Structure 1
Amino acid sequence: YVENNLAQKTIELFNELKNPADVNKTLLNQMKLDDIQSSIPIYLSAIKAVSQIGDYSKAQSIFKQIPDSLLVENQIRSALIDLWGKVGSVVEAKLIFDKIRQPNIIEYTTMGLF
């Protein structure tokens, strides 16, 4: 939002919410309404927030909002493996891991934690 000269809108949205995962989810939804293109850092931030609170339903919600074009990005995949593990869904984490053609050390390590 700040990059799109909508800093005030960002402040308003943050002031309306207390939970960081809800803030990220609301920002993602508002960005869609405002036709602002989301990016890897935005989704990584949302994934991290949901990972910290460990809420499975919020993890599903964030995951469903990530475009397929970004699901092939290693950073997103690693973050999702971590997310699914932290919300107790090792099966989901394994599904993401299995889609990686050549896992790197970070992805192996992240998956190995679960």
Structure 2
Amino acid sequence: MQIVIFTIGVAIYVVAVNLLVKGQEAVNLRFGWPKPKGFINNAACYFSFAIFVFLVLPFAFFFPIWLNALLPVLQPTQTNRAILILIGGFVLSATMWLNYKKTKQGSFNNGL
């Protein structure tokens, strides 16, 4: 039963990361990123980026470890914790790539 709840938690995690990245993208587009005009728009873009750095990144990287601590599916070893952090990083990077490759933001359209 724990594996089923863990799988549901992972699905909710992937959807939440996707929604958070889409929200960040929507806020940036709303304020004219990558070339915001005016001090208020520029400050809003950097403020939303600060929120992204301090809230979304730790959530994306460390939620799999927290979920495994709550519902121990994997043994709590150092290797498994490292694997869960890497999975969190992969989920975040894949989500950002999939969301930003359709827009004209950043270097995703320059072949990088």
Same-fold status (TM-score > 0.5)? no
Tell me the TM-score normalised to structure 1 length. Answer: 0.29
| TM-score normalised to structure 2 length | 0.30
Give the structure, 1 or 2, with the largest relative contact order (CA under 8 Å, sep 6 or more).
Answer: 2
Structure ID, larger Rg:
2
